[in-house]
């Protein structure tokens, strides 16, 4: 069954702990945390301190996505704060091999993210260094965008390489497209507004799983 990872970017910042509890009670699998430097993407969020507090507040694995030009400057801080998975961008100005080695030394899983316009080929040399590939299905930086349908083919292409690790997608995922993404090879669905806008997340999560079961039938 596909993993559901609610993105706290869509949570209420004044009631973050409450919304994390809602995600737990709904049966979500991971908690997705976008870290933005206001340069690689035109937005700013979240600090290692937020990750540390979330680590204290939840037992859900923390899936931390560094949308940064120079992720090496803060990667160790986020690992120390409790990131269970740390994802960097293939487009970032950094040495991905060096950084994935650091992530693994800290006992965390390493991920490589691709923007919608970056071809799957860009990540192929790094497949042996990561446990997760994140295919952005919207331009990173803001929630509430519509899914870029061309990324569905990219997910299929990544799976067709024989990749056995997690394939994650983030952006515009909802009930009417999650089954299509699953059929293409998706393992982890990052969802923001589609979950946090619901008064009760559990029925929404159950509907997502039902869509997947129908797809498998």
Domain 3-216 CATH assignment equals 3.40.190.10: no
To the nearest 10 degrees (0 to 180), the angle between helices 16-25 and 48-57 is 50
Q: How many residues are there in the chain?
A: 217
Using the predicted structure, report yes or no on whether residue 217 has a pLDDT greater than 80: no
How many whole angstroms separate alpha carbon 123 and alpha carbon 42? 24
Separation CA 91–CA 72 (nearest Å): 13
Domains of the chain, residue spans = 3-216
Render pLDDT for 75-111 as a digit per residue (tens, 0 to 9).
999 999 999 999 999 999 999 999 999 999 999 999 9
Q: What is the pLDDT of residue 196?
A: 95
Q: What amino acid positions are annotated as catalytic residues?
A: 34, 170
């Amino acid at each position: 069954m596909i993993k559901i990872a609610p993105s706290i970017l869509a949570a209420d910042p004044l009631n973050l702990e409450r919304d994390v509890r809602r995600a737990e009670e709904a049966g979500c699998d991971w908690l997705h945390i976008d870290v933005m430097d206001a340069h690689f993407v035109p937005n700013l969020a979240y600090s290692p301190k937020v990750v540390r507090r979330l680590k204290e507040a939840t037992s859900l694995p923390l899936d931390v996505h560094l949308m940064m030009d120079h992720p090496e400057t803060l990667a160790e801080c986020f690992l120390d704060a409790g990131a269970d998975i740390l994802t960097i961008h293939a487009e970032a100005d950094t040495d991905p091999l060096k950084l994935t080695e650091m992530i693994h030394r800290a006992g965390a899983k390493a991920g490589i993210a691709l923007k919608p316009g970056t071809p799957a080929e860009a990540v192929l040399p790094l497949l042996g260094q990561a446990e997760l590939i994140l295919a952005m299905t919207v331009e990173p930086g803001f929630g509430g965008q519509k899914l870029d349908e061309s990324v569905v083919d990219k997910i299929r292409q990544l799976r067709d390489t024989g990749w056995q690790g997690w394939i994650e997608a983030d952006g515009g995922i909802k009930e009417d497209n999650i089954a299509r993404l699953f059929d293409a090879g998706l393992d982890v669905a990052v969802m923001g507004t589609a979950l946090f806008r619901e008064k009760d997340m559990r029925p929404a999560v159950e509907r997502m799983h039902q869509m997947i079961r129908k797809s498998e039938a």
